[in-house]
Structure 1
Amino acid sequence: MSSRRTSIAVVGTFDTKLDEFLYLRSQILEDDSSINVILIDAGRSVVQHEAVTIKQDEVAKASGFQGFENDFMSLPRGDLVKTMIKGAVKVVGRLKDRDEIHGIISLGGSGGTSIASAVMRELPVTFPKLIVSTVASGDVSSYVAETDITMMYSVVDIAGLNEVLKAVVQTAAAAIVGMAKAYVKKLNNNGHGDIKTTKKGIGITMFGVTTKGVNAARKWLESHGFEVYVFHATGSGGRSMERLVKENRLHGILDLTTTELADELAGGVFSADSSRLTAAAKAGIPQIVSVGALDMVNFGPKDAVPKKFQERRLIEHNPSITLVRTTKEECEELGNRIAQRLKENCIRPDLTEVWLPLRGVSALDIEGQAFYDTLADNALFKAIKTSLDGSEISVKELDTDINDPSWSESIAKRLSELIELKG
């Protein structure tokens, strides 16, 4: 198989930061002059420079924008950004599909980072992505989402070349060169740049209070030849698992820890979104869903817990996280939501099961522990059973808690049977 020439896409707003992007290009080429650097202009106005590979008007055209240049220039900033995102996503997507790029990098403030990150979020997990940004030292969850974007803080604004910014850009250039070369190496060796495994992949959701049970299930699956991916159910973890399902990387799901739905319902800090619990159902892959850690909603430090929750049972999990016990009414609603999302989205209900651990849904919900509440748990179980009654989705009740090793092995074994059933 012939070797590929490493190519790196550089996406940015060249009308405001051309000098900085040209410096980035020079540092990539200084690291390896054989690299093909593709500069893609996603700014407001056309920049004429020989180094620019794909000009701004080409990106605008790819977005489907209809109108003259003056119409484009008069777009409000928000509409302009959306237009350039749409165009850049298509341009970069085509390059990736044709195997013409092996990494992507950008520089920017909040606007440039918004454009670049939106483009990068559409690229597969494991494809090299790096942004040098003025916002990288803050909350970057809206930019990174459930992807593997690497963000580097620029320290100073990206507004003129100085010794600090040049040093940061030099480091970023070296980083993307190394990442892209490693990706090309995998392409040349494997024929693709993704993770290579001959094993079937299983996604499992976990929280601290379901760790014991998840680890037992993981070990059973690994001992029977599966590749296991554990996702921390912190909102982004659940979304990451759903993304890998959409990318056809997983063959089965043990959704043991659905606590993100509790945070979605009550406004906690670890909420996923309304698409949670839908990807595997829509893909028709085998899945077993359970109710791990639905006894709690997660908030920040204790003094940050909203007043309406202050009279409930609270546990300081650590200085940054406070747990609030869900009520009977909330548990009933959670049961209904789980059932409804499965019923509305399952294309293979025969490959979906819900397992209920009747003696506790977390390590804090067993007899003698702080969140033990049979009324709340029973409301949860009853809502699921009632809502799924008459559907083809089966519900299994076990007289154990979610961390019992025998439960874990039984649920792992059953998932392997469902995978075999699918063939």
Structure 2
Amino acid sequence: MTRHLSPLTMHPFDRRTFLRGLGVTMALPWMESLRVWGDESVGKEPSSQAPVRFACFFSGNGFHSKEWWAKGAGKDMELGKVLQPFEGTKEKLTFIRGLYNEQALKGNIHSSQTGNLLSGAPLAAGGAIRSGTSIDQVLAQHIGHQTKVPSLVLGCEHSMAAVHKNYSMLYSSHISWSSPTTPTPLELYPALAFDRLFKEDDSLNDKSVLDAVLAEATSLRGKISSADKVKLDEYLNSVREVEQRIERAGKERQIQGWRPTLAEPNIPRPKDGVPQDIAEHMRLMCDILVLAFQTDTTRFCTLKLNNDHSSLRFPNLNVDYMIHHLLSHTDGDDWLKVNRFFAEQVAYVAARLDAIQEGERTALDNSILMYCSSMMTGHHDATQLPLIVVGRGGGKLESGRVLDYLGKPNRKMCSLYLSLLDKFGVPLSEFGDSTERLAEV
């Protein structure tokens, strides 16, 4: 009779290491005494280097016209008021000015400027749906098989299915595209996003992830260094904390319709599609993204904080008198307050990742976080796009810089994407409308 061994009793840690339990798989974080990120290539020794991750954060309708800026370098970099939440990680931030998508200049409306933000592809008009495969999905299709979840696509606002001035509003709702005709489905519910990362059997939705893997976690503790035991405990505590927060949010109705034992909501969502507590919703999504990277369950994530042409309101900021889209045309103090709220979500993820040590680097050092919008301001200006990159791409990306491409011959967003693809070992001869890498990246 063949004996089936637990992953922890097999050849010691020469491949990716997981904790497994009934219906649950948890990839471990980087540990110095385990070669977690094993190279699966035949004949090669497993690598002890942590992987590089990519996340794209999007908020619609642009930013305050006078407060999206940066100047200087390194610790002396100065940030405009929108970007001041990144003060603690500015030495790992790259401010990029002047890039654009040529195809986004057609139509001059939200839909025509958003659907190709991550692909640079021409968009079909007349209500048809055709864009291009986005950079996050290109990465997932090339190397996403190395993790349990090839890519995680999160959102905080329902997509819109209508036509506005000859372009489908689906373009305003999706920046991640699995193919030119397929926007990647958004996961709007934190509980379901969490389940996708860790649970394999929907019938176990009322079970704790940690309870399911407790036996293997206990066994593992006897096989790792003292420093890694501390890291393992911190990691397991962070999983438990997110579980408990999701449970509390569901009980308190903070996230509309969520129930831990249901796959779909059992009460209707508010008519305008806005979560009842947008601050808690966004923060949970940010925590799940960090957890996904920390556990190596996925290396590619897109978090759409809202739609372009968004209907979100912000009672948490005492800005509840106007929806996001209309507020973007005002360029006043309340618009700045909303801008900073969005930037705070991305800065929070950056700070969380920077606090996770992975050998000589942090998880932020081993990541590329891109934050962007599809227009510079709420007045539909797409001649240059607001863009920052936080992280060092595993040491392959120099940070603490301001890069200005205005007036230069190559200032295509897709040139940036070609450069970023190289950081992940996915060299392409062309992407979107570009065949040339972006200088200095």
- TM-score by shorter chain over 0.5: no
Q: Which has the higher contact order (CA 8 A, sep 6+)?
A: 2
TM, length-normalised to structure 1: 0.30
- Structure with the greater alpha carbon radius of gyration: 1
TM, length-normalised to structure 2: 0.29
